[in-house]
C-alpha cells in the first residue's frame, strides 16, 4: 500500500507522530515480554531435558501407602492416586508434552517447506491441485480433523503427533509458497537460472534458505499451539498410553480428584499454560522484529489482507 506508507512518512501527519511514539514504546516494552517468554520456555525445557537428574523420585514408582499426598518437603507437587511423585512426573511428562509440540512443528514445517517450495517454483496445475488440497485440510476445524485422524491411526502419542502435524501442514505450505513466489522474481534467482543451475540447487541454495525466517517465526508461534492440541488429544484419551506421564493425560486422570486434591491436575495444567505462553510471547516478538508490517500490528496498525 504505497499511499499509506507515504502518508505515514509525512512528518506533519497525525498518524506519524502517534505511530513513532508507539514505536518507541513498543521497542522499549517488547523485548521484556520476549525475555519473559524465553524464561517461561527455557525453564520447563531444561527441567524436562534434565528430568532424570532433577527428579526426586522414579516417575513411575507406585507407592499405594502414600497415595494422594498433599505437596510436602518429600513430594513437592504431592502424589497421585497410586502414590507416584507428581513433581517427578511433571518433569518426565514435559519430555513428552514439549517434545510432542516441537515434533509437530518440525514435521509440519519440513513438509510445508518441501511442498510449498515445489508448489511455488513449479506452479501450474501441480500448484493448483496442491493448494486446493490445502484448502480442504483447512476446511476442517483443526482439533476435529486431528481427532478423527488420531482415532483412525490408533491411540498413542505418535499418532496424535502425526495427526496434529498433518493438520498444521497447510499453514507452512502457504507461507513457503508465498515466499518462493516473490523470491523467484529476484535477480539472483534469474541469474542462477540463466547460469544453468539445476532446480534442486536453486530451491536448496536460494529459495528455501531465504524463505526460512517467516517459517521459524510461525513455528515458534505454533509450538505452543501444537503443544496445546496434543495435550488436548491426550486429555481426550487419544494421546499417550498409561503409565507414561504426559501433561494433558495427567490433567485428565487428576480431574476427578480436583475437589479434594487440588494439586493433582493443577501442576501439570499450569506447566502447559506456562510453556505455551512462553512460546507465544517469543513468537509475537520475533514476528514483530521480522516483519515491519506486523510490527505495525503490534502497535495496532494491522495490515490484514482480505
Residue among 141, 269, 153, 289 nearest 214 (CA)? 289
Q: Shortest approach of other proteins to residue 201 CB, angstroms?
A: 34
Q: Which is nearer to other proteins, 119 or 225 (CB)?
A: 225
Q: Judged by CB under 8 A, which of 91, 149, 173, 215 binds other proteins? A: 149
Q: Judged by CB under 8 A, which of 5, 65, 152, 242 binds other proteins? A: 152
Query: Cα separation of 128 and 126, whole Å?
Result: 5
Query: Cα separation of 168 and 170, whole Å?
Result: 6
CB 261 within 8 A of CB 70: yes
Q: Judged by CB under 8 A, which of 119, 160, 211, 252 binds other proteins? A: 252
CB 161 within 8 A of CB 239: no
Stretch that binds other proteins, among 66-74, 120-128, 147-155, 183-191 (CB under 8 A): 147-155
Q: Judged by CB under 8 A, which of 18, 58, 81, 291 binds other proteins? A: 18
- Check residue 282 for interaction with other proteins (CB under 8 A): no
Can you spell out the DSSP letters for 181-218?
HHHTTSHHHHHHHHTT--HHHHIIIIIHHHHHHHHHHH
Q: Half-sphere exposure of 121 toward its Cβ, with a 13 Å CA cutoff? A: 21
User: Would you state the cell numbers that stand for residue 294, as one nine-digit string?
Assistant: 506486523
> For other proteins, what does the binding mask look like between residues 99 and 138, x meaning CB under 8 A?
---------------------------------xx-xxx-
Q: Shortest approach of other proteins to residue 184 CB, angstroms?
A: 23
Query: Cα separation of 32 and 284, whole Å?
Result: 12
- Check residue 284 for interaction with other proteins (CB under 8 A): yes
Helix (H, G, I), strand (E, B) or coil at 85: strand
Sign of the alpha-carbon torsion through 223, 224, 227, 233: negative
Query: Cα separation of 93 and 242, whole Å?
Result: 12
CB 248 within 8 A of CB 231: yes
Q: Shortest approach of other proteins to residue 172 CB, angstroms?
A: 18
Q: Which is nearer to other proteins, 37 or 208 (CB)?
A: 37
Q: Which is nearer to other proteins, 18 or 58 (CB)?
A: 18
Q: Shortest approach of other proteins to residue 76 CB, angstroms?
A: 20
Instruction: Tell me the site size for other proteins, rule CB under 8 A.
Output: 65
Residues between 217 and 246 that touch other proteins (CB under 8 A): 224-225, 228, 231-232, 235-238
Tally DSSP H helices, then E strands, for the chain.
13, 0
Residue 168, Cα to own-chain centre: how many angstroms? 10
- Check residue 251 for interaction with other proteins (CB under 8 A): yes
Which residues sit at the interface with other proteins, rule CB under 8 A? Answer: 4, 7-8, 13-15, 18-19, 22, 25, 132-133, 135-137, 139-145, 147-149, 151-154, 224-225, 228, 231-232, 235-238, 248, 251-252, 255, 258-259, 262, 265-266, 269-270, 272-273, 276-277, 279-281, 284, 297, 299-304, 306
Amino acid at each position: 500500500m504505497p499511499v499509506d506508507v507515504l502518508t505515514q512518512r509525512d512528518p506533519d501527519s497525525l498518524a506519524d507522530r502517534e505511530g513513532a511514539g508507539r514505536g518507541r514504546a513498543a521497542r522499549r516494552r517488547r523485548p521484556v515480554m520476549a525475555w519473559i517468554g524465553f524464561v517461561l520456555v527455557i525453564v520447563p525445557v531444561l527441567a524436562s531435558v534434565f528430568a532424570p537428574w532433577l527428579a526426586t523420585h522414579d516417575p513411575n514408582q507406585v507407592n499405594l501407602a502414600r497415595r494422594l499426598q498433599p505437596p510436602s518437603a518429600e513430594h513437592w507437587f504431592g502424589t497421585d492416586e497410586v502414590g507416584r511423585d507428581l513433581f517427578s512426573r511433571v518433569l518426565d511428562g514435559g519430555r513428552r508434552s514439549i517434545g510432542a509440540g516441537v515434533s509437530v512443528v518440525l514435521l509440519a514445517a519440513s513438509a510445508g517447506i518441501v511442498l510449498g517450495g515445489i508448489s511455488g517454483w513449479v506452479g501450474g496445475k501441480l500448484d493448483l491441485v496442491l493448494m486446493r488440497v490445502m484448502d480442504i485440510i483447512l476446511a476442517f476445524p483443526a482439533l476435529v480433523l486431528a481427532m478423527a485422524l488420531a482415532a483412525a491411526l490408533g491411540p498413542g502419542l505418535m499418532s496424535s503427533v502425526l495427526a496434529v502435524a498433518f493438520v498444521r501442514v497447510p499453514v507452512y505450505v502457504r507461507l513457503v509458497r508465498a515466499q518462493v513466489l516473490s523470491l523467484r522474481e529476484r535477480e539472483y534467482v534469474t541469474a542462477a537460472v540463466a547460469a544453468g543451475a539445476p532446480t534442486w540447487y536453486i530451491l536448496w541454495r536460494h529459495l528455501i534458505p531465504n524463505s526460512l525466517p517467516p517459517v521459524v517465526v510461525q513455528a515458534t508461534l505454533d509450538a505452543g499451539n501444537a503443544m496445546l492440541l496434543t495435550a488436548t488429544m491426550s486429555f481426550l484419551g487419544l494421546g499417550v498410553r498409561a503409565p507414561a506421564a504426559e501433561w494433558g493425560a495427567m490433567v485428565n486422570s487428576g480431574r476427578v480428584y480436583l475437589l479434594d486434591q487440588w494439586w493433582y491436575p493443577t501442576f501439570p495444567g499450569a506447566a502447559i499454560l506456562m510453556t505455551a505462553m512462553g512460546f507465544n510471547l517469543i513468537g509475537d516478538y520475533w514476528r514483530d522484529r521480522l516483519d515491519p508490517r506486523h510490527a505495525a500490528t503490534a502497535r495496532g496498525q494491522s495490515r490484514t489482507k482480505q
